[in-house]
Structure formats: structure tokens, C-alpha cells
Chains A and B, each alone.
Chain A
Amino acid sequence: MRQNMQMAEEIRNGLDAIMKDWVAYQLSALTLRRDLLKETELRESSRSFLELFAEAFSVTSDSSSPSWKPVKDNLAEISSSRALQGFSPSETATFVFSLKQPLFNLAQQRAGNDSKQLAEILWNLTILLDRLGLYTTEVYQESREGVIRRQQQEMMELSTPVVQLWDEVVALPLIGTLDSGRTQVVMETLLQRVVETGARIAIIDITGVPTVDTLVAQHLMKTVAATRLMGADCIISGIRPQIAQTIVHLGVNLNDIITKATLADAFQIALQRVGASISKAAPTS
């Protein structure tokens, strides 16, 4: 305990020297991305971390104790911001691990020729810094997963636009694989838009759906049934030749549903149903 306090005192006294060594080491490390991080920012975050580190180290060298919480919070902030900036895990962890060198130098100066004391100090420091390094990686991973989750969510929302083609005609171009989670979103968006626009015909275009298996077919049929219950008719378009073959081979029954090969055909049927027609304009002389 006494040793820790003395050590912490020395860290504080030699803050500038340690900073110099540490920052130099970080800058020389191959993993530093100068394009993403400025030297001044690095110095700033290094200094604030080192101050907190010395503060906590004077109390205990056990990183699980509550006095280390400010250090961990600081570290978490640094790691997650680096994760968002696009650093790799090892680049992020280098921040902590590169502190070993200067601290070991300090320990060596302190212990002098007493190898037993030196070994003890080094052991404590190693354990401590390794834990902090692991913690950094953990936080890094978490924030990365957060990014992935957000992107999934965004993709889910992006991938289900319902477009209005005509009075009382809406279309839903589906792109990507249909799983049950997406079907739910697709169904809800489509039905909501049918209510909002008062559409009588809804066209589901599956040109962008790479594969249709029994599950996808079932999801489609559910969507069609729900749309019908709302009082709108559903047309499925954009069925590619291979998909038509697969559907028949799988024994899926789409007989009750109007299917068309292209969106254009489906649109024509829809226009007929709502009593509208499009014709080419007479050539102007």
C-alpha cells in the first residue's frame, strides 16, 4: 500500500517525463493512425488518463475496486470514440499497453538493485495494465456491436419504402432476403400506407428478392391475406423465371394470388381495376 502511494507520487512528479516517453512510444508504434488522430489530441487524452491513473493507483492497484472507476470511465470514453472513428482493436489497445514501457522504467529507477522489489512492482503493474487493456478491448467491441445494431435497424427501415404509383395504387418494391422479422415490418408499413392513402391495389414487387423458399412464400401469402382483410387487393410482380420454377417445385400454391412477371404488367392490371387508362399522346404536328 505504502509502496503504491510512493509510486503514485513519483508518477505525479515525473508526469512530464512519463508523458514524453509514453507519447513518443505511441507515436512510434506502427499501429498509430495519424490520419485519424492528431498529436495534440493524443497528448491531451494521455495526460488526463495518466493523472487519473496516478490518482487511483495511490489508493490500490486492484483495478476492480471502485476507486478505479474514473479511470475506467475515461478509458471507455477513449475506446468507444476510437471505435467509432474506425480504429482497429489492437490500435485501440496500444494506448494502454504502451504505457508499460515508461512505467517499467520508473519502477526500475525506483527499485535500483533490489530485484525482489522490482519483480513485485513489475508484476503488479503488468496485471493492472493487462486488465485495463482487456477492458479497453471489451468497450471497443461493445461500441462496434452498437454500430452494427444501429445499421441493421437502419437497413430494416430503409428497405421497405411504399411508393404511390397512382390514385389508389401503391407499390412495395422488396429488396433483399425476407425473414420473419422483416416480413413483420414490411407488412406493418404496407398496411399503414394502405390506410393512409386509401389504396385499393397494392403491388408487391419481388424483383430484388434473391431467393424464394417456402418460408418466404408463406410470408408473402400472409402479407397478401392481411392486405385483403383490410379491403385492398394485392398483386405480386417481378417473379423471375428461376423463381417461378422454384415455387412450382416446392409445391407452393399461389393460385389465389394475382401474379405478374413484371411491375409494368401489374401496374396495367391495377389501372384497369381502378378504372384508369394510359395512352400514348398523339404526335404533335
Chain B
Amino acid sequence: MERIPILKMGPYLLVTIQVDMHDRVAMTLQDELTERIVSERAQGVLLDISSVDVVDSFIGRMIGNIASMSRVLDAETVVVGMRPAVAITLVELGLALPSIKTALNVDAGMTLLKSSRKMSHNGRSPR
């Protein structure tokens, strides 16, 4: 069965989706990613969907779910590299995903993660 690789980059996890996102693959990804976040004590997840050119409402919701789950595990998710056609489709499906962070590419996503981490650390009172 096809699996989506999860790479560790410093304190962050990089997930690059390069296969067709069937429903089954998405479910497996959800399982594995949450487990990896816990085991690696990841602070952030970069979800690269630049090779995805077809989405449906299920995949759209799955992306939202993954982001919400990682946030519960205290890892910020940034969805990067969404294609124009995919963005338009998601909006037309009514899945604007207002709560997730997005960036244009992996580079910008990494910068965003670093800066948001810094801000939240500064905001937190020292224990």
C-alpha cells in the first residue's frame, strides 16, 4: 500500500504528499503523523501539497483535521504550496479552512513556523 513519508527536520516534521490522496492513504497519514508528533516531540508540521492537483471535500476536511489534531498536540501545522486550482476548489466547496496557517512554499512555511514559535515563547510566562 502507498504510504506518505514523514521526514524530521530539526524540531519540525515535513510531510510531502506526492501520491494520489485516496481516502485510505489520508487516514493512514493521520494515524502515523499524530504518532510521530508525540514520539519526536515535534513543534511544528509542514504539510506540502504542491503536487496535489485534485481534491474533494473529504481530503479538504482531512487537511483541516490534521491541522486541528497537531494543534491539540502543541504542534503548529502550516499547509504549504497549495495550487491555485485546488484553492479555488476548496473555497467553492465551502472549505475555506479559516483556522489553519498557510504559506506559499516550504521555505516560507519554515520561516512562519520559526517566527510563530518565537512569538508564543515570548508570550508565555516562564515557569
Q: Which residues of A contact B (CB under 8 A)?
A: 184, 187-188, 191-192, 194-195, 198-200, 222, 225-232, 256
Contacts and interface: CB of A to CB of B under 8 A. Distances in A.
Interface residues of B, number: 21
B96 A232 contact: no
Contact of A231 (B91, B96, B98, B108): B108
B82 A230 contact: yes
Contacts of B81: 231
Contact of B84 (A200, A222, A230): A230
Contacts of A230: 82, 84, 87, 102, 104
Interface in B83-114: 83-84, 86-88, 90-92, 96-98, 102-105, 108-109
Contacts of A225: 91, 96, 98
13 contacts: A191-B88, A198-B105, A200-B104, A222-B91, A225-B91, A229-B82, A229-B96, A229-B102, A230-B82, A230-B104, A231-B81, A231-B103, A232-B104
B21 interface: no
Interface string B63-88: 00000000000000001111110111
Contacts, number: 59
Given A198-B108, A200-B104, 12 more contacts: A191-B84, A195-B83, A225-B91, A228-B102, A229-B79, A229-B86, A229-B87, A229-B91, A230-B82, A230-B102, A231-B81, A231-B108
Q: Which of B79, B83, B87, B109 is the most central at the interface, judged by chain A CB atoms within 10 Å of its CB?
A: B87
A229 B104 contact: no
A231 B88 contact: no
